[in-house]
């Protein structure tokens, strides 16, 4: 029969695992380490037997992303994410319609249409960008790799999606009054799951793209074609959830 003495506080677990309270709360929120609350909204308690079982599995998922209570959502990889989307756009540049084809496209759409979306085709040239390694990853030191563990890997595409996931999470979390993003995100497994689901859905709805302006008639406003690649065509929900597990 379990007694109060058989349950540990987050601080107790932190000392046993030689980590931080935030890392422990992350394990609890991700259901990697079982825990129970004392009362509604009370502090978490971890059964000593569950902690020993977790340690017996060689402490999976203990290496949390480099997060802190202030700059938790900040990432140094924004430039790489922008470079990735630009590289995809450059690879698809040969898909830009010549003015004759654009004129026919708008003529078929009707005179009142000023913009048209055209899907980017995943050609071998575009696929090469999607499969490219993250720039500079091959030259990372062991210390840099250790610091990045759990956030990103050597894939440029996954780096891009990890950055977008954190961007989507920041938008959701900043609206919560009187509670830090970290407190809310790792507040409970239910909260964690709900926010991850929201950010995954948001990112799946986004698209990589670029536009071109066409002057089809000297007497009419310029028209614009948006060349777009749906995120859902380059990563599925399961894959994006896996990236979220790395990003958060």
pLDDT tens over the chain, length 248 residues = 445 568 999 999 999 999 888 889 989 999 999 999 887 778 899 999 999 999 999 988 877 665 555 566 667 778 889 999 999 999 999 999 999 999 999 999 988 899 999 999 999 999 999 999 888 776 666 666 655 655 556 789 998 998 899 889 888 887 665 667 777 888 899 999 999 999 999 999 999 999 999 998 888 889 999 999 999 999 999 999 998 988 88
What 3-state DSSP class applies to 151? Answer: coil
* CB atoms inside a 10 Å sphere around CB 227: 22
What is the reported pLDDT for 128? 97
Model's pTM, two decimal places? 0.85
Helix 10-17 crosses helix 48-56 at what angle (to 10 degrees)? 30
Q: Which CATH number is correct for 4-56, 2.60.120, 1.25.40, 1.10.1660, 1.10.3470?
A: 1.10.1660
Region class of 178: left (phi > 0), else alpha (psi between -120 and 50), else beta: left
Q: Are 66 and 27 in contact (CB under 8 A)?
A: no
Q: Which secondary structure element, helix H or strand E, spans residue 76, and what is its range? A: none
Residues 6 or more apart whose CB falls under 8 angstroms from that of 39 comprise: none
Query: Where exactly are the structural domains of the chain?
Result: 4-56, 78-247
Q: β-strands 223-230, 115-119: how paired?
A: parallel
């Amino acid at each position: 029969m379990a007694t109060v003495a058989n349950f540990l506080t987050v601080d107790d677990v932190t000392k046993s695992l030689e980590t931080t309270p935030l890392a422990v709360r992350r394990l609890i929120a991700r259901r990697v380490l079982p825990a129970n609350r004392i009362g509604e909204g009370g502090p978490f308690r971890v059964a000593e037997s569950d902690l020993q079982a977790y340690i017996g599995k060689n402490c999976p998922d203990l290496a949390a992303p480099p997060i802190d209570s202030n700059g938790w959502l900040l990432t140094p990889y924004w430039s790489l994410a922008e470079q990735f989307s630009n590289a995809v756009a450059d690879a698809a540049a040969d898909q830009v319609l010549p003015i004759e084809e654009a004129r026919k496209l708008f003529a078929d759409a009707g005179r009142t249409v000023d913009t048209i979306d055209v899907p980017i085709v995943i050609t071998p040239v575009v696929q090469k960008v999607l499969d490219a390694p993250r720039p500079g990853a091959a030259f990372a030191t062991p210390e840099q790799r250790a610091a990045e563990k759990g956030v990103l890997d050597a894939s440029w595409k996954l780096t891009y999606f990890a950055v977008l996931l954190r961007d989507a999470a920041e938008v959701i979390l900043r609206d919560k009054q009187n509670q830090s993003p970290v407190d809310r995100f790792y507040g409970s497994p239910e909260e964690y799951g709900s926010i991850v689901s929201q950010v995954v859905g948001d990112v799946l709805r986004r698209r990589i793209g670029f536009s071109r302006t066409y002057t089809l008639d000297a007497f009419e406003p310029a028209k614009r074609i948006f060349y777009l690649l749906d995120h859902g065509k380059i990563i599925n929900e399961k894959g994006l959830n896996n990236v979220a597990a790395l990003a958060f």
